[in-house]
Structure 1
Amino acid sequence: MMTSPYFEMTNDIELRVTPMFLSEFSAPEQREYAFVYKVELQNNYDDDIQLLSKQIIIRDGNKEQYTLEFEDVNDEQACIPAGEMYDYTTYCPLETPTGSLRGSMTVMSLSSNEVFEVNIPLVFFRTELKIDAITEPQEFIPLALSV
């Protein structure tokens, strides 16, 4: 797993989030700040799990808060075998140079069908955490923010 200051462990499921500022996709004069964040989930639980959904709470530097609910995680309901890792990178546009993200993922144990929440750690977005180029070509689709 990559080193990240943002870490949470729930039911032996380790979640790390690494945010990055994308200066080349930002326009501060138009109050547009582009951030991406990489999520790494390590399944140390004693069973295979399935990611069912996630809820994200985004707060910008003006303390405007948005809650986003998804019926999947990264456009799928992935199954992660015990001992394996799952990761994805996603996009978060903000109107301020700082902000935060927190939330949870709903997960199901595949042998017992037990459903539980895995916490997404509180993550801070700051413009000084930046990358100058995208190392892997990906299409970034802005999240539709809703109040």
Structure 2
Amino acid sequence: MSSMISAGIMVNVEVFYQPEYSNPLQHEYMFAYRITLENYNSHPVKLLRRHWNIFDSNGVYREVEGEGVVGVQPVLQAGESYQYMSGCNLSTDMGKMKGVYEMENLDLRKKFQVLIPEFEMIVPAKAN
């Protein structure tokens, strides 16, 4: 589990290997991750965009960006949290991700960035 507080927003990440959606013989490894966001600020915020940096252990790097998360742009009131699940496929049994959310302070109509902590995706048998 990885956690970080940035700009008053706590980002917590849990990772799960998905063997039923993976095919190691074809170099296909699927991971799910659950992200919990918590607004520690005294104002409401809206998640506008995400930007991911994804690294396989063979040196392959890719970026993914887009609006919101899983098709929504959640609003978090002061003290509220929001949780979602998503996934990432790798061509190796180990990799990592990190990124940035672009958010907006809804009181000031001002955009700001929230860091997403780096987290590892490792097939459980590989970690032993």
TM-score band w.r.t. shorter chain: over 0.9
Match 2:7 to one of 7, 11, 21: 11
- One-letter code aligned to 1:40: T
- One-letter code aligned to 2:25: E
How many angstroms does 1:52 deviate by?
A: 0.3
Calculate percent identity across the aligned residue pairs: 29
What's the TM-score once normalised by structure 1's chain length?
Answer: 0.82
Structure 2: segments with no counterpart, 5+ residues = none
1:119 aligns with 2:118: no
* Residue aligning to 2:101: 105
CA–CA distance in structure 2, aligned partners of residues 49 and 74 of structure 1: 17
Task: Specify which structure has the higher proportion of strand.
Answer: 2
* Residue aligning to 1:25: 21
How many residue pairs match? The answer is 125
Q: For each residue in 1:52-98, what CA deviation from the matched residue of structure 2 results, as whole angstroms up to 9, or x when unmatched? A: 00000100011110001112222111111110100100010111000
CA–CA distance in structure 2, aligned partners of residues 25 and 36 of structure 1: 10
Match 1:93 to one of 85, 89, 95: 89
* Residue aligning to 1:53: 49
How many angstroms does 1:11 deviate by?
A: 1.6
* Residue aligning to 2:80: 84
**Which aligned segments of 4 or more residues in structure 1 are displaced greater than 3 angstroms?**
none
Structure 1: segments with no counterpart, 5+ residues = 130-147
CA–CA distance in structure 2, aligned partners of residues 73 and 26 of structure 1: 23
